[in-house]
């Protein structure tokens, strides 16, 4: 057997309201769940982006918790790459720059495909890239 796809990915943020604004308004993702002080979740294509307060998710669930999700978390900035076709990457670059978001890198990979890199308000490294950088369609 082999894992077929990534269903969800998590990043850790220090301000859930600001994260909701950035990922919802700037990146246009659809919010699907929110628990004040703990997390906000967004649909991203056929996957889900989980944004957690890192301090809250370190707390183990109560013994009688309805959903006994184990404590988890991370320290420092993470990285997430969003898939985008070539024709959309320039549009994303323009949209981000109009929001005063700095594009840290914009380049073509040696085997083909373009990437642009930028940061969310929490220092997480984000990227829009063509799937072909990994030989995907």
Q: Which residue stretches of the chain have pLDDT < 70?
A: none
Nearest CA-CA partner of 120 in 83, 85, 88, 77: 77
CATH, range 77-137: 3.10.180.10
Nearest CA-CA partner of 97 in 26, 42, 30: 26
Q: Would 1-55 and 77-137 be classified into the same CATH topology? A: yes
Q: What is the topology classification, in CATH, of domain 1-55?
A: 2,3-Dihydroxybiphenyl 1,2-Dioxygenase; domain 1 (3.10.180)
In this prediction, residue 9 carries a pLDDT of: 97
Whole-structure pTM value: 0.93
- DSSP single-letter state for residue 23: I
In this prediction, residue 76 carries a pLDDT of: 87
Distances (CA, A) of 82 to 31, 64, 97: 16, 37, 17
Q: Which residues pair with 50 in a beta bridge?
A: 10, 41
pLDDT single digits (tens) 82-105 = 999 999 999 999 999 999 999 999
- Domain parsing of the chain, residue ranges: 1-55, 77-137
* Cα 23 to Cα 54: distance, rounded to the nearest angstrom: 17
The rounded Cα 134 to chain-centroid distance in angstroms is 18
* Cα 40 to Cα 55: distance, rounded to the nearest angstrom: 14
């Amino acid at each position: 057997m082999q894992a077929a796809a990534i269903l969800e990915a998590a990043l850790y943020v220090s301000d859930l309201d600001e994260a909701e604004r950035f990922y919802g308004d700037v990146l246009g993702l659809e919010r699907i769940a929110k628990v004040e002080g703990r997390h906000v979740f967004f649909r991203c294509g056929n996957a889900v982006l989980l944004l957690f307060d890192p301090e809250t998710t370190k707390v183990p669930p109560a013994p009688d918790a309805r959903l006994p999700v184990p404590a988890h978390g991370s320290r420092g900035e993470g990285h997430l790459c969003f898939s985008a076709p070539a024709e959309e990457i320039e549009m994303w670059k323009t949209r981000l720059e109009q929001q005063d978001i700095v594009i840290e890198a914009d380049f073509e990979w040696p085997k083909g495909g373009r990437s642009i890199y930028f940061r969310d308000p929490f220092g997480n490294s984000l990227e829009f890239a063509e799937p072909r950088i990994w030989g995907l369609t």
